[in-house]
Amino acid sequence: MKKQMKMSGIGFYLLVLAVIFCAVYFSGNIESSSSDSYSIANLKKDLGNGNVTSASISQNQEIPTGEVVVKLKSGKNVDFYVSDVKDVQELLDQWNVSYKLGDVKKTSWVITTLLPYGLGFVAIFLLFSFLSAQSANSGGGNSKMMNFGKSRARRIDPEEPHAKRFKDVAGLKEEKEELEEIVDFLANPGRYTDVGARIPKGIILVGPPGTGKTLLAKAVAGEAGVPFFSLSGSDFVEMFVGVGASRVRDMFAEAKKNAPCIVFIDEIDAVARKRGSGLGGGHDEREQTLNQMLVEMDGFGVNEGIIVMAATNRVDILDPAILRPGRFDRKVTVGRPDVRGREEILEVHAKGKPLGDDVDLKKIARTTVGFTGADLENLLNESAIVCAKEGRKFIEQEDISKSFIKIGIGKEKKSKIISEKDQKITAYHEAGHAILFHVLPDVGPVHMVSIIPTGSGAAGYTMPLPERDETFMTKGKMKQDIIASLGGRIAESLIFDDITTGASQDIKQATSTAKAMVTKYGFSENVGMINYADEDEVFIGRDFGRTSRDYSEDVAKTIDNEVKAIIDDAYAQAKSILEEHMDVLHKCAKLLLEKERIDREEFEALFEPDGVVLEKKEAVSEEVDVEPDSL
């Protein structure tokens, strides 16, 4: 109904504009009724033939010009313009034809003055009326150009059906406990103000993407029963100078009107980066917006009931002024969930999804180490899509396994044609990786080995599956990661006369790990416990004109030598292990060529006839010098 009213209003304005156009057009052509085919020569001819009964002469303002209207015996009237009306008068008198001589024509002031200006004013009035009506009907959509400085915060009231509660947040037990006092303050502020307590003005949620920072902030507002204003840090940034600062002022003014409330700024690093990090200096639009935010957060009282929450995964690049007490004076770390948290998250996202009897959420939680809440939701959603595509009513474990591979490696491309030579090279390459993952004690076990090309461009993959959550990386485990990365290249060199480019990503990963051990974690005795790692964030304003490293050539040479020594030592150990398990290497490659993909049980069965799996693990553990202490 509303859409029909809008369309009828548009039709009305278009009709009015069409009428105005027609009026202007015909006003200029209302008197243009002359006959182009009749002339004074025709008049002389008709006078000679006696066809003219009467005439009428109208003089123009430019005398002696005028217009002559001749009435013929047939009853037809014809008119034409003449340059001298006196000649026509003499001609009519000569043939005794009666005529009327009209006065000089004067153009009406209504047509010459009032009509053009009046129509112009009417057109402008209708145009602005049309734009105003469109703005009102669209909820202000067309009025954004007039409201650059207005806040774009979206308000969510606690009584709305999609408002969140703590029960909707799974896997964040400690984080929810830390924020319960904020909820209690918003619900019962007198309990704290009576004893002189100061509630934090701002709370910043820090953690990797997808861990539930935004969901947690919405749950705080829902539990407290207060309005929740949500917007992104990029909403403040605009191409026009001063717009961001104006939006900050408007946002806090709106929050004061609705206190108590929560203001949530997602991805605050878009507007709160360290000042002086660009080439714009103090006149940079982002810095002006940050300055205004700093002033506003100091401007309202400590117990006014306004709490600012923000989320970021780059807390290291935020300006120190915004993290000091009195602004964002509390930091809550929202990390990746542990195995218990992953199980709770899976149970939440499994609601509404029919699961088969073979689906074990506890097992999935154990095998998804490092997954965030968003990753787990995506895993179950992809599994439901696979199930629906195959026309089944229940999600099976095989659907989850396929989705796990698709998310981690990429969708398999079974239709891609691979030559026998390339398949054989890929089989030995992946078998080399798999053997090292199985034998080394801290990097396995192997979940799946495949020589089917994937969407990521890889010709095959070996997927290890950590069985436990680890807080720290040990020196021994990092060494084993490098050893396992080099297994594919070493297997190629042992079996074939040539090597391929398939190990480029493995070499890159091994080099990155070895360099981090030397420059970042202090695992090298010759370099010492000094951080020589490059900064994660490059600030043009600070790094402009500065060298790319802050250490001497001698130190750089020492770092290069240490990195090469780690890689060379890992290469020698990996080659020794593969040479000892050459029979398994051949059996694994043969099985891969037959089945293209093997799982953990099929792969581990290749070691059973030897009976030396446990002994080899202990020997390798001593060889690679695994250090149990966490660093």
pLDDT tens digit sequence for 488-539: 999 999 999 889 888 999 999 999 999 999 999 999 988 989 888 875 544 4
pLDDT of residue 49: 79
The answer for residues whose C-beta is within 8 angstroms of residue 69's C-beta and 6 or more apart is: 55, 56, 57, 58, 77, 78, 79
Q: Is the predicted pLDDT of residue 5 greater than 50, yes or no?
A: no
How far are the Cα atoms of 450, 579, 603 from residue 432, in angstroms, in the given order?
Answer: 12, 10, 12
Q: Helix %, strand %, coil % for the chain, to 5?
A: 55, 10, 35
Range with the lowest mean pLDDT among 33-47, 171-185, 344-358, 402-416? 33-47
- pLDDT-derived band at 130 (thresholds 50, 70, 90) equals low
- Asked about 181 being catalytic, the answer comes back as no
pLDDT of residue 627: 35
pLDDT of residue 465: 79
pTM listed for this prediction: 0.65
Say which CATH class 33-102 falls into: alpha beta
- pLDDT-derived band at 7 (thresholds 50, 70, 90) equals very low
Burial 198-226 (b: 16+ CB within 10 A, else e): ebbbbbbbbbeebbbbbbbbbbbbbbbeb
How far are the Cα atoms of 25, 26, 372, 516 from residue 118, in angstroms, in the given order?
Answer: 15, 16, 67, 79
Sign of CA dihedral 102, 105, 109, 111: positive
CATH (one of 3.40.250.10, 3.30.70.260, 3.20.20.140, 3.40.50.300) for 154-333 = 3.40.50.300
Please give the mean pLDDT across all residues of the chain: 78
Averaged pLDDT for residues 344-363: 89
pLDDT of residue 20: 61
How far apart CA 521 and CA 582 sit, in angstroms, is: 35
Which of 49-58, 168-177, 259-268, 554-563 reaches the highest mean pLDDT? 554-563
DSSP per residue, 541-577: HHHTTS-S-SS-HHHHHHHHHHHHHHHHHHHHHHHHH
Averaged pLDDT for residues 483-490: 94
How far apart CA 596 and CA 272 sit, in angstroms, is: 51
- Indicate which residue of 175, 223, 267, 430 is catalytic: 430
Domain 420-623 is found in CATH 2.60.40.2580: no
**Placement of tokens 């026509």 in the chain:** 88
pLDDT of residue 459: 83
Q: Is the predicted pLDDT of residue 362 greater than 80, yes or no?
A: yes
Q: Is the predicted pLDDT of residue 28 greater than 50, yes or no?
A: no
- pLDDT-derived band at 284 (thresholds 50, 70, 90) equals low
CB 317 within 8 Å of CB 537? yes
Q: Between residues 16 and 286, which one has the greater pLDDT?
A: 286
The four Cα atoms 235, 236, 237, 238 give a dihedral, to 10 degrees, of: 90
CATH fold for domain 339-408: Helicase, Ruva Protein; domain 3 (1.10.8)
Paired tokens of 570: 């890992």
- Residues facing 262 on adjacent strands: 228, 307
How far apart CA 395 and CA 84 sit, in angstroms, is: 100
Q: Is the predicted pLDDT of residue 297 greater than 60, yes or no?
A: yes
Q: Between residues 366 and 435, which one has the greater pLDDT?
A: 435
DSSP per residue, 450-475: E-S-BTTS-S-EEEE---S--SS--H
Paired tokens of 594: 């037959």
DSSP 605: G
Q: Between residues 25 and 229, which one has the greater pLDDT?
A: 229
How far apart CA 247 and CA 342 sit, in angstroms, is: 39
Q: Is 196 exposed, middle or buried (0-12, 13-18, 19+ CB in 10 A)?
A: exposed
Q: Is the predicted pLDDT of residue 341 greater than 80, yes or no?
A: yes
pLDDT of residue 92: 80
pLDDT of residue 18: 63
Q: Return the domain boundaries, the chain.
A: 33-102, 154-333, 339-408, 420-623
The answer for residues whose C-beta is within 8 angstroms of residue 176's C-beta and 6 or more apart is: 166, 169, 216, 219
- pLDDT-derived band at 61 (thresholds 50, 70, 90) equals low
Q: Beta-strand (E) ranges in 9-147?
A: 52-59, 66-72, 77-82, 99-102
- pLDDT-derived band at 617 (thresholds 50, 70, 90) equals very low
Averaged pLDDT for residues 460-481: 84
pLDDT of residue 79: 82
Helical spans, DSSP H, in 138-242: 173-187, 190-193, 213-224
Q: Is the predicted pLDDT of residue 542 greater than 90, yes or no?
A: no
Averaged pLDDT for residues 152-163: 67
Closest CA to 172 of 55, 333, 290, 28: 333
Q: What are the φ/ψ torsions at residue 326 (nearest 5 degrees)?
A: 105, -15
Closest CA to 462 of 435, 483, 480: 435
How far apart CA 135 and CA 50 sit, in angstroms, is: 70
pLDDT of residue 156: 67
How far apart CA 99 and CA 603 sit, in angstroms, is: 120
SS3 category, 205: strand
Binding site, annotated residues:
207-214, 429, 433, 506
Helical spans, DSSP H, in 188-324: 190-193, 213-224, 243-257, 285-299, 320-323
Q: Is the predicted pLDDT of residue 562 greater than 90, yes or no?
A: yes
Q: Is the predicted pLDDT of residue 342 greater than 80, yes or no?
A: yes
